[in-house]
Amino acid sequence: MKSLAGVALWTVIAAGISSGLPACGHPVQGKLEGRWLGEGVEGFGEEHIAAATGWSKGTSFEFSGSTMTVAIPAEEPRSGSYRVARAHQSDVYLSVVGEGGSADKVHFRLDDKHVMRWMLGNGRSILLRRQ
């Protein structure tokens, strides 16, 4: 019969090991982890490029576990839980549930471990760099 002290020790060791491991989820979540800052724009018309670039430089995303926080100029930062809805090659589609309970879809394109794009549609994107 195992001693109570032995069982307690294994419980503490197992808890310590598991707390250092990432939560179960899609492997892409690890690639998103951290803070991403807006750096520029692509696909905007000449008449909008200056304003869009300024707006993008005030934009950031932060991923921590299954929580995503987005900060965009002139608005309070918003957080929500997210899950990877679909990932194909460098394209990642997230489903984000905010405070109101509604789910929003977000499309990112991961270029490498330091650069990704927030795909806005119609050929437009915000270039983001990992901090």
pLDDT tens by residue, 4-57:
333 333 333 333 333 333 445 788 999 999 999 999 999 999 999 999 999 999
Mean pLDDT of 97-118: 93
Domains in the chain: boundaries: 26-130
User: pTM higher than 0.85, yes or no?
Assistant: no
Best CATH choice for the domain 26-130 from the list 3.90.79.10, 2.40.128.280, 3.50.30.50, 3.40.50.720: 2.40.128.280
What does the DSSP assignment read for 14-74? HHHHHHTSPPSS-THHHHH-EEEEEEEEES--TTTHHHHHHHHTT-EEEEETTEEEEE-TT
